[in-house]
């Protein structure tokens, strides 16, 4: 009964831990992006839990230095992974993670950073998070959640021999849970546009297994001055994808709104990813990509800008996304 109630609470609160009662072929991880005010430092911190098909488990914190293009994987005993059953809080050894702050005590990385005015993805009737009604489908390969689209940072980190001042910087938090990352996907995110300080973009398109087949699913949100423009498979939006030698172009269309995106590749580094719950896959992520974005409403352009310090992943056999 306790496991059921915890799962039910998490179902309606995507930022919380969802793995209650799980013991094999399962992963869950949160992604904290931290960028200094002058954009000289960009760090991603990813805590999580891994359970392979044989029930072997371990916890981890993965750290990516987006400017140096390096990554480290810190392994913990599964028993060190202590999530709250009431809200999103995670204690992992001497490290702490929530929607309000993180405290890190890792080899080569330490410090505390507070998050001011988090911007959660809004809940709607029948849609507890960014996945809409797909949140209730029990056999999905991978679920996705957005904890905060944008917030201000206060604090410092010691990264190796560098002290990183994050006061006035910007942050972003999302998460994934399930069995495996999609066979192929494109993901991008940024809070750093040259024309507007209060704008945030998230966009993803992926190959989604479904019953005996598959479909190409997508979710995107553009947050502008307190307004969130949603584009997703479940909203009835349409998507157009084009893959270039060094770029990715996406267009999302709703009846009244249109989002146009062109992202350019940049140097990145390899991160570990889940396959059937086991952290044995590899993906490449950059935190130095650029993304040009236009937003139209009723045929009128209401936003245009080029983003810097953008996260970009292009993973798997992405040509299947064109089908």
Give the angle subtended at the CA of 112 by the CAs of 109 and 113, to the nearest 5°. Answer: 110
Asked if 152 and 117 count as a contact pair (C-beta separation under 8 A), the reply is yes
**Res 217: pLDDT:** 94
Q: How far apart are the first and last CA of the chain?
A: 44
* pLDDT single digits (tens) 249-272: 999 999 999 999 999 999 999 999
Q: What is the mean pLDDT of residues 215-232?
A: 96
Tens of pLDDT along 133-144? Answer: 999 999 999 999
Contact 78, 49 (CB under 8 A): yes
pLDDT in tens, 7-26: 999 999 999 999 999 999 99
Rounded percentage of the chain residues whose pLDDT exceeds 70: 100
pLDDT at 152 over 70: yes
Give the residue-averaged pLDDT of 97-124: 96
Q: DSSP E strands: which ranges in 117-253? A: 142-159, 162-165, 170-178, 184-190, 199-210, 213-224, 227-232, 238-243, 247-253
What is the arithmetic mean of pLDDT over 226-246? 95
Average pLDDT for the chain: 96
> At residue 71, does pLDDT exceed 90?
yes
**Cβ–Cβ < 8 Å for 39, 164:** no
CA distance 241 to 186: 10
**323 has pLDDT over 70:** no
Q: What is the pLDDT of residue 126?
A: 84
Question: Which residue, chain included where needed, has tokens 């990145």?
Answer: 268
Question: What's the pLDDT band for 244 if we cut at 50, 70, 90?
Answer: very high
Look at the pTM and tell me if it is higher than 0.85.
Answer: yes
pLDDT at 161 over 90: yes
Residue-range definition of the domain harbouring residue 286: 2-322
Residues 6+ apart with CB under 8 A from 116: 151, 152, 153, 154
Q: How many independent structural domains does the chain possess?
A: 1
C-beta separation of 287 from 311 below 8 A: yes
Share of the chain above pLDDT 90, in %: 96
CA distance 127 to 94: 34
Q: Is the pLDDT of residue 1 over 80?
A: no
């Amino acid at each position: 009964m306790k496991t059921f109630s915890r799962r039910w609470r998490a179902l309606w609160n995507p930022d919380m831990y969802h793995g209650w009662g799980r013991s094999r072929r399962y992963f869950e991880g949160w992604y904290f992006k931290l960028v200094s005010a002058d954009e000289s430092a960009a760090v991603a911190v990813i805590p999580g839990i891994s359970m392979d098909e044989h029930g072997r488990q371990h916890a981890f914190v993965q750290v990516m230095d987006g400017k140096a293009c390096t990554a480290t994987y810190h392994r913990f005993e599964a028993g060190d992974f202590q999530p709250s059953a009431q809200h999103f809080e995670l204690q992992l050894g001497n490290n702490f993670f929530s929607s309000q702050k993180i405290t890190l005590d890792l080899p080569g990385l330490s410090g505390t950073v507070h998050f001011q005015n988090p911007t959660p993805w809004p809940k709607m009737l029948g849609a507890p998070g960014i996945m809409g009604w797909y949140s209730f489908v029990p056999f999905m390969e991978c679920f996705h959640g957005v904890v905060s689209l944008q917030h201000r940072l206060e604090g410092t980190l010691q990264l190796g021999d560098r002290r990183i001042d994050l006061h006035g910087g910007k942050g972003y938090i999302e998460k994934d849970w399930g069995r495996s990352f999609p066979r192929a996907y494109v993901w991008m995110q940024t809070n750093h546009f040259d024309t507007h300080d209060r704008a945030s973009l998230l966009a993803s398109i992926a190959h989604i297994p479904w019953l005996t087949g598959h479909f190409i699913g997508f979710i995107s949100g553009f947050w502008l001055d307190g307004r969130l423009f949603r584009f997703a498979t479940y909203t009835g939006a349409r998507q157009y994808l084009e893959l270039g030698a060094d770029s990715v172009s996406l267009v999302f269309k709703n009846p009244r709104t249109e989002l146009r995106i062109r992202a350019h590749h940049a140097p990145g580094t390899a991160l570990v990813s889940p396959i059937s719950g086991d952290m044995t896959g590899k993906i490449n992520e950059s935190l130095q990509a650029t993304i040009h974005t236009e937003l139209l409403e009723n045929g009128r352009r209401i936003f245009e800008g080029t983003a810097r310090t953008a996260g970009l992943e292009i993973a798997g056999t992405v040509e299947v996304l064109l089908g």
